Amino acid sequence: MLPTDTPNQNYPIYLDCHSTTPVDKRVAELMLHYMTKAFGNASSIDHSYGDEAEQAVSQAAIHVAKLIRASSKEVIFTSGATESINLAIQGSILEKTTNKTRLCIAVLPIEHKAVLDTCYALAKKGLAEVINLQIDSKGRLDLDHVEKVCASGLSLLCVMAANNEIGNIYPIQEVGKIAQKYNIPFLCDASQAVGKIPINFEEWGITYLAISAHKLYGPKGSGALVVRKGYQLNPILFGGGHQKGLRSGTLNVSGIVGLGEACRLRLLEMEEDEWAISLI
Ligand SMILES: Cc1ncc(COP(=O)(O)O)c(C=O)c1O
């Protein structure tokens, strides 16, 4: 049972967790410490306040990475899945625009607007062409079409892990295999899946994975983009060169800690659920 405050009796029952979830009280308590006591700037590591903040950020990266089976070095913290998706799509397309080849993005047509509108904004500027992957009337993906499109050459393939409106769970492992076979970078928006179903970033051939904290009992305005080692992205925000220059801006330490703690708790509870199910 999630330790949130018991809602006032006048509150209606909340049934919209695809939209957002309450912050787990354990997450909020930890965040409070990093807002009011250990409030240092994670880049000011010449004193103990900065050190503690920097260590908390590193620890959060470990928690995120563990939940989705990635390396903590592959985790870039952002303001949420919308920013993560923008960084992956714009960053990978802008990285390739100098190649003078025709750039093409294939998308599941029922992706979140963060994916669709970013792709169409690039198309409008003439930077990339957008192809819709084929789905049936229930929104299920045609894997043969994915293979056909990948075989013809793509700059980026976008398939979400779970749909926010109709709840479909997509065969990411199969999609990743196809992407790897044709060496196509693969963005998976896993906002609705992380912390709910198992995700294996390392083994499933995903290149970029978008996470949102507020979908898994963490705070709003915090998220991550997991970038497979060896893949280059053009930054879309410029400034102090934070996070290897990929995402400048003073780190939102409490938000990052909140995301990390939410991931740690979800991993723990998913393992407990599995153990409970194994007893039935
Ligand atoms: C599937 C999906 N992708 C992306 C987003 C955007 O996430 P965020 O609110 O963290 O920007 C959402 C949230 O509504 C979502 O459900």
In this structure, what CATH number is given to the domain that contains residue 259?
Answer: 3.40.640.10
* Structural domain includes residue 14: no
Res. 4: pLDDT tops 70: no
pLDDT in tens, 106-120: 999 999 999 999 999
Tokens of 8: 């006032």
- The pTM of the full predicted model, rounded to 2 decimals, is 0.95
Q: What spacing in Å lies between the alpha carbon of 35 and ligand 1's midpoint? A: 25
* Percentage of the chain lying above the pLDDT 70 cut: 96
Q: Which residues pair with 162 in a beta bridge?
A: 169
Pocket of ligand 1, candidates 215, 217, 252: which has the most ligand atoms within 8 Å of its Cβ, to mutate? 215
Report pLDDT for 5. Answer: 61
As for how many domains the chain has, the answer is: 1
Query: Is residue 103 a part of any domain in this protein?
Result: yes
What does the DSSP assignment read for 188-238? EE-TTTTTTS---TTTTT-SEEEEEGGGTTS-TT-EEEEE-TT-----SS-
Task: Report if residue 9 sits inside a domain.
Answer: no
Residue 5 maps to a domain: no
Ligand 1 site residues (CB inside 6 A) read: 80-82, 112, 114, 160, 164, 189, 191-192, 212, 223
Any domain includes 20: no
Q: What is the overall mean pLDDT for the chain?
A: 94
- What is the pLDDT confidence band of residue 271, given thresholds at 50, 70 and 90? confident
237 lies in some domain: yes
Quickly state the pLDDT bin for 256 (edges 50, 70, 90): very high
252 residue type, one letter: N
> Is 2 a residue whose pLDDT tops 60?
no
Residue at 17 is within a domain: no
Range of the domain at 264: 25-279
Query: Nearest 5°: CA angle at 80, between 79 and 81?
Result: 145
Residue 33 CB contacts under 8 Å (≥ 6 apart), including other chains: none
Whether residue 8 is contained in a domain is answered as: no
